[in-house]
Amino acid sequence: MSDEIWILGIAGAYLFLSLVVGVMFGRKSKTDEAQGFVAANRSFGLVLMYFVTGATIFSSFAFLGMPGWAYEKGGAAFYVISYGAVAMVPLYFFGPKVAKWGRAFGYITQADFIADRFGCRILPGLMALVSVLAFVPYLVLQMKGAGFLLSTMTAGKIPESVGALIPYLIVTIYVLIGGVKGVGATNVLQGIFMLLIAWFLGLYIPWKLYGGVGPMFERIVAEQPGHMILPGPTNREIGTYVSDVVIHVLGFTMWPHLFMKVFTSKSDRVLKQTVILYPTFLLFLVPILFLGFAGVLFESGIESGKILPYLVSQMNLPVVIVGLFCAGGLAASMSSGDAILHASSAVLVRDFFKKLFPGLGSRTEASLMKGFVVILGVVSYLLAVAVEMDLVDLLRIGYGGVVQFFPLVVGACYFPRSTRAGALFGLLTGILLTILGQFDLIPRPFSMHPGALGLGANILVFIVVSRMTRPPAETSRFFSSQGE
C-alpha cells in the first residue's frame, strides 16, 4: 500500500470522526428554530465555551500561515503571541453585560444588540455586509489551507480543488444538522487534536534537525542573528508591527462568530472563566512557531506558506506521522471554517434579510440560514480555487473591517450619551478609510495597518457626532436597574 493511501486513510478517518461527532451532538439541539441553530438555547458550559473560542480562532492561518511568517519574517511573527495573550480581555468586561441583555431582550447576533441599543434599523444591514465581506476571505483562507495540505501530502494525487472540497462538504453537513451545537462539539475534538499534533511535531522536528529546540535557536542566533529580532529579515516596520497588534487586540472579540458565542453561554461565570482560561490556548502557537523557525536553516527560497508541509514531506518521517500532521491541518482549517460558515449565514439572515422582511418567523429564519450555509460555502469555494493570496494577508484584511465595530460595542455598553447618528457615521467613516488605506489610495503614517487609520477616524466621528445629537429613547432601559 502506497504512502499516499495511508495518509488519505488517516485523514479520511479523522474527517469521518468529525462528521459523526458534529451530527451526533448537534442533532440534540432544536436547529429548526433560529435560537437553537444560532445560540443553542444559551446552554454552553465551560468546556464547550473554552474550545469553541479557542479552536474557532486558530485555523489554517495558525497551522500554515504562522510557520511561514516565522520562517520568512522571523521576530515579526511574535505579534500573534503579543495580541493573543490579551485579546480576550475586553470580553471579560462587556461580555457579561451583553449576555444579560441578550437573555433579557432575545439577541442572538452582534447586530441584534447594536441595532436595539441605538434604535437604528440601518446599522444591522451595514454590519452584516461588513461581516460577510470579512468572513468570505477568512473562509477562503480555511479552504485554501485544506486544499493545499491534502494536495501536498499526497504528492499531487489529490488536486487542491478536491482537497478544499471534501472537508467542507463534511463541515456543511454537520453545520446544517447540528447548528452551533454541532460546531461546538467538533471544536472540542479539533482543539484537542490540534494541540496534540502541534506539540508533538513542534518538539520532534527541531530535535530531528538540530538536536532540540534550544540548539535550534542557538544555531539561528549564531548564523542569522537578525532573524529573531525586529525588524527581522524582511525589515518589517515597527509602525506596522504595533498597529497590527493593536488592531488584532481590539478586533479579536469583534469577529461575529466569536462575539455571538456570548449568547450561547449559560452564565456570566462561565463567560468570565472562559476569558481567564483562554490564554492557555496560545500554547498551541508555541510549537507552531518552533516549526517555522526549524525551516530557517533547513532550506531557503521556499514560499513561506508552504514551509511546514515542505519540512514534513522532505524529512522521511514515518507515514503515520505525516498522516496525523495532515489530519491536524484539516482540524485547524475546519475548526474555524465551521464557525465562520455558521455565523456568516446567521448574520446575513438575521441582520440583513430579517430587517428587510421583519415578519419572518423563527422556523423560516432557520431555514434561510441553512440555505445560506450552502450558498456562502459554494461562493467561498469558488474563490478559494480561483484566487491567489497570502494566508496571513487574507486575515489582516478581515481584521481591518471587523475592528470598526469596537467603538459601537464600547459606546453601547458604557456610554449612555452615544447616539445612533454617532454610531452610523462613525462606522461609515471607519469602513471608508480602511478600504482607501487597504488599496493605498490615501497615505498611511508609519505604514500602519489600514484598519488603524479607519478606527481612529471612526472613534473621533462617533464621539463628535454623538455630542451633537440626542441619544435614542431606547437607551434608558439598558442603563436602568432592570437592564443592568
**pLDDT tens for each residue of 402-459:** 999 999 999 999 999 999 999 999 999 999 999 999 888 899 888 899 999 999 999 9
Residue 483: pLDDT band with limits 50, 70, 90: very low
Residue 385 has pLDDT above 90, yes or no: no
| Chain mean position to CA 212 | 31
Q: Provide mean pLDDT across the span 278-300.
A: 87
Are 296 and 305 contacting, i.e. CB atoms less than 8 angstroms apart?
Answer: no
Those residues with Cβ within 8 angstroms of residue 279's Cβ, 6 or more apart along the chain or in another chain = 84, 85, 88
Domains of the chain: 3-396 (1.20.1730.10)
Its pTM stands at: 0.86
Q: Which amino acid is at 422?
A: G
Q: Provide mean pLDDT across the span 192-213.
A: 91
Q: Name, of 37-41, 50-54, 112-116, the range with top average pLDDT.
A: 112-116
Q: What pLDDT does residue 168 have?
A: 92
Residue bearing cell 476569558 = 275
Count Cα atoms within 13 angstroms, Cβ side, for 416. 10
Q: Provide mean pLDDT across the span 233-257.
A: 87
Those residues with Cβ within 8 angstroms of residue 477's Cβ, 6 or more apart along the chain or in another chain = 483
Residue 390 has pLDDT above 70, yes or no: no
Q: What pLDDT does residue 481 have?
A: 47
**Interatomic CA distance for residues 354 and 322, integer angstroms:** 47
* Selection from 177, 126, 153 nearest residue 6 by Cα: 153
Integer angstrom CA distances of residue 108 from 111, 305, 406:
9, 36, 18
Strand partners, 44: 265
**Interatomic CA distance for residues 462 and 418, integer angstroms:** 8
| Chain mean position to CA 175 | 17
Q: Which three cell numbers stand for residue 361?
A: 418567523
Cis peptide bond prior to 407, omega within 30° of 0: no
Q: What pLDDT does residue 229 have?
A: 83
* Selection from 41, 44, 40, 65 nearest residue 53 by Cα: 44
**Interatomic CA distance for residues 8 and 11, integer angstroms:** 5
Q: Name, of 120-129, 131-140, 210-219, 391-400, the range with top average pLDDT.
A: 210-219
**Interatomic CA distance for residues 136 and 147, integer angstroms:** 16
- Using alpha carbons only, give the angle 334, 338, 340 rounded to the nearest 5 degrees: 115
